[in-house]
Structure 1
Amino acid sequence: MSEHTGRFLMVRHGRTTANAAGILMGRTDAPLLPDSLAHAAELGRTLALTSSTVLYSSDQPRALRTAHLIGHPSALQPIPDPRLRERHFGTYTLDAFTDLAHDPAWPAIDTRYDSRPHHGETLREVEQRIFTRLLQLHRAHSPDITLVVIGHSTCWRLVQAALCRRRHDPFDEPIPPPLTVLPHARAALAGLHDYL
């Protein structure tokens, strides 16, 4: 019996004007920078996705635009999904990272699983939302299908930590640069169940 050939690729969206300005976007949005538009299109050509690929994306514009550019060379249309959105940072949304560095409450919000920003989500809630959706997508498609998901840095870090069998700690898990690809065998997604 042959091994299944499906892969899981999670890609962080391209760099935005807010990324460049050091602003925490969360559920808000900002345009992709011109060089990110070109790099996303190039990544689409490099990945050389085939008809045995399904492309999903957060429905936030920065992710969805990135997904369209990545899918275009292979004529793949991304499927937008609100369950793949970035963490809701509540009242911290649109704060500058330089200001957050001086906020005594921010380290706990950023690193503790059950710390909730005012009007926002805990890391545990983000993990539950993202992992549940990825498991649903994994189960919905043949194991030979490559599943590509365009998402956000908090989600990317949580998934990477779990698939590498360690819990997320923002001090240990580096923030992925824009357009970073997290590659794994599709079968690895089944391990997310251990964290639910």
Structure 2
Amino acid sequence: MATVLLVRHGRSTANTAGVLAGRTPGVHLDETGREQVRAVGERVSAVPLRLVATSPLERCRETADALLTGQISAVPLTVEDRLTECDYGAWQDGRIAELAKEPLWRTVQEHPSHATFPDGESLRAMASRAVAAVRDLDRRVEEEHGPEAVWAAVSHGDVIKSVLADALGAHLDQFQRIVVDPASVSVVRFSSARPYVVATNTHGGDLGWLATKVEGAGTAASVPGGGVGPTSTSPST
């Protein structure tokens, strides 16, 4: 079963301005964000990635470039439209403080499966295409490189939260319980039986253990006690 690193883009100029950027072009990483993604590239450098797939938006492309820079060998880069940010419609470019006063805000927070942004996309549609993209790409990576392969998907907070909710078997209405910070790395390992959520929202620690064989992977990973884990260094979060 292949393993995907779900990497949120580093802090952007819109994040610091308190603006819901959505799909607005020209939103880049700020100085802190550039430092964050440099550190992520170092964390992932010990893991031979087989593929980096990214949202087409600039802040994700810049984050993906940092992952590629840290790799010893050349890694294919795929721009995947299904990993792009939610289409926030009329909310795009709005100030978060003002949007929070809208009646829809409460629905987004408490019942996101019922939320559709005016002139935009529903959160349910966003989740559906993001989950499909990750599962499709994961299947492709495993077919081409085998079950121990590791790859990365670079995307946005809500998109990654929806993928994690699916992997956890949680309803989309629970996805606001999941925290995905800028430049964080979450890890999901897929299998024919179920996905395994290995780590969420990590910010530090060497990820080289992902390059080692995991004892007790597959169905044995869900035995009482949880299995023995990687054969080398334990995951650091």
TM-score when scaled to structure 1?
Answer: 0.86
**Number of aligned residues:** 188
The alignment partner of 1:26 has SS state of coil
Q: Does 1:28 align with 2:28?
A: no
Which amino acid in 2 is paired with 1:33? D
Identical-residue share of aligned pairs (%): 24
1:113 maps to 113
2:159 to 149, 155, 159: 155
How far has the Cα of 1:101 moved from its partner? 1.6
How far has the Cα of 1:128 moved from its partner? 1.1
How far has the Cα of 1:134 moved from its partner? 1.3
2:64 maps to 67
Cα separation, partners in 2 of 1:34 and 1:161, compared to 1, 3 Å: same
Which deviates more from structure 2 when the two are superposed, residues 31-40 or residues 14-23? 31-40
Gaps of 5+ in 2: 197-237
Q: Is the 2:5–2:153 contact (alpha carbons within 8 Å) kept by the matching residues of 1?
A: yes
Q: Is the 1:146–1:186 contact (alpha carbons within 8 Å) kept by the matching residues of 2?
A: no
Across the aligned residues of Structure 1 and Structure 2, the Cα RMSD in angstroms comes to: 2.3
Q: Does 1:53 align with 2:28?
A: no
In the alignment, the residues of structure 2 paired with residue 25 and residue 47 of structure 1 have an alpha-carbon distance, to the nearest angstrom, of 27
Per-residue CA shift, 1:81-136, capped at 9, x if unaligned? 11110110100001111101211232224543133212211111011111111121
In the alignment, the residues of structure 1 paired with residue 18 and residue 192 of structure 2 have an alpha-carbon distance, to the nearest angstrom, of 33
How far has the Cα of 1:78 moved from its partner? 2.6
Larger Rg: 2
The alignment partner of 1:126 has SS state of helix
Cα separation, partners in 2 of 1:182 and 1:52, compared to 1, 3 Å: closer
The alignment partner of 1:177 has SS state of coil
In the alignment, the residues of structure 1 paired with residue 58 and residue 162 of structure 2 have an alpha-carbon distance, to the nearest angstrom, of 21
Cα separation, partners in 2 of 1:174 and 1:132, compared to 1, 3 Å: closer
The alignment partner of 2:172 has SS state of coil
How far has the Cα of 1:8 moved from its partner? 1.3
1:187 maps to 191
Larger RCO (alpha carbons 8 Å, 6+ apart)? 1
1:76 maps to 75
Cα separation, partners in 2 of 1:128 and 1:67, compared to 1, 3 Å: same
Gaps of 5+ in 1: none
The alignment partner of 2:173 has SS state of coil
Q: Is the 2:8–2:185 contact (alpha carbons within 8 Å) kept by the matching residues of 1?
A: yes
1:18 maps to 14
The alignment partner of 1:14 has SS state of coil
Q: Is the 1:55–1:79 contact (alpha carbons within 8 Å) kept by the matching residues of 2?
A: yes
Which deviates more from structure 2 when the two are superposed, residues 153-162 or residues 180-189? 180-189
Q: Is the 2:113–2:123 contact (alpha carbons within 8 Å) kept by the matching residues of 1?
A: yes
Which amino acid in 2 is paired with 1:122? S
In the alignment, the residues of structure 1 paired with residue 168 and residue 195 of structure 2 have an alpha-carbon distance, to the nearest angstrom, of 10
